[in-house]
Chain A
Amino acid sequence: MGILLAVLFACKRILEFLPNIELVTLLLIVYAYVFGKKTYIISVCFTILETFVWGVHNWVIMYLYIWPLLITVVLLTRRWAGYVFYTVLSGFYGLFFGLLCSIPYYFIGGIRMQLTWWIAGIPFDIIHCVSNFIIALVLYKPVLAVCKKAKIIMEGNID
Chain B
Amino acid sequence: METKKKQFNLKMIIAAICALVLCVGVFAVVYSKFGPESKTTKGGKSIAIEVVGKDGKTSSYKLDTDAKFLKEAMDELVKATKDKSGDKKFTYSGSTSTYGLYIEKVNDVEANYDKDKAYWAIYVKEAPDKDFAYGQFGADQQPVTDKATYKFVYEKSEN
- A residues contacting B by CB (< 8 A) are 19, 84-85, 88, 91-92, 95, 112-113, 115-116, 119-120, 122-123, 125-126, 129-130, 133
Contact = CB atoms under 8 A, between A and B. Distances in A.
A125 B35 CA distance: 13
Interface of B: 13, 16-17, 20, 23-24, 27-28, 30-31, 34-36, 98, 136-137, 141
A95 B28 CA distance: 11
A119 B16 contact: no
A113 B24 contact: no
Contacts of A120: 35-36, 137, 141
Given A120-B137, A125-B27, 14 more contacts: A85-B16, A88-B17, A91-B20, A95-B20, A95-B24, A95-B27, A113-B136, A119-B30, A119-B31, A120-B35, A122-B31, A126-B24, A129-B20, A129-B24
A152 B23 CA distance: 39
B31 A88 contact: no
B27 A126 contact: yes
Secondary structure type dominating chain A contacts: helix
Contacts of A113: 136
Q: Which of A112, A116, A122, A129 has the most CB of B within 10 A?
A: A122
A19 B98 contact: yes
Contacts of A129: 20, 24
Nearest to B31: A122
Contacts of B36: 120
A84 B16 contact: yes
Nearest to B136: A116
A83 B137 CA distance: 39
Contacts of A126: 24, 27-28
Contacts of B28: 122, 126
A25 to B, nearest CB: 14
Nearest to A19: B98
A26 to B, nearest CB: 16
18 contacts: A84-B13, A85-B16, A88-B13, A88-B16, A88-B17, A95-B20, A115-B34, A119-B30, A120-B35, A120-B36, A120-B141, A122-B30, A122-B35, A125-B27, A126-B27, A126-B28, A129-B24, A130-B24
